[in-house]
Amino acid sequence: MFKSMVLAAVVAAAAASPAAGQFGGARLMRVTNGSCITMQPDERTGFNLTNACSECRTALVSWCDGDAHEIDVRAHGTAHIGACRGVQTLLSDAPCQHR
């Protein structure tokens, strides 16, 4: 319940702020809510998640369907995610839990 309330508040705040660019319904904006991960727009295709730390990190990203997705990003690496119609926001990151 608390996770859903926090996610809803973050999405609402992000929706209210002006976007750096808007393509195909996706709002592309740089986000730095993580401790190691940053989320940078990648032209019109989505976002690059960049890990500045020397360990694998799992980024928690809010998705347009209202859910949060976990994406593992290797040490000093990047991962690409596609844009969806709506707001995508980096909520946080944590050390990878190798599943």
User: 7 — phi, psi (to 5°)?
Assistant: -60, -45
pLDDT at 87: 82
Let me know the angle formed at the C-alpha of 13 by 10 and 19, rounded to the nearest 5 degrees. Answer: 115
With contact defined as beta carbons under 8 Å apart, do 29 and 19 qualify?
yes
Per-residue pLDDT of the chain (99 residues; tens, 9 = 90+): 434 434 444 444 444 444 434 444 445 444 555 689 999 988 778 999 999 999 999 999 998 888 899 999 999 999 999 988 888 889 999 999 865
pTM: 0.64
Q: Taking the CA of residue 85 as centre, how many other CA atoms within 13 Å lie in the half-sphere pointing to its CB?
A: 2
Q: Which residues pair with 8 in a beta bridge?
A: none
Q: 2-95 sits in which CATH class?
A: mainly beta
With contact defined as beta carbons under 8 Å apart, do 24 and 85 qualify?
yes
Give domain limits for the chain: 2-95
The rounded distance, in Å, linking the Cα atoms of 83 and 99 is: 26
Token pair of 25 as six digits: 């319904």
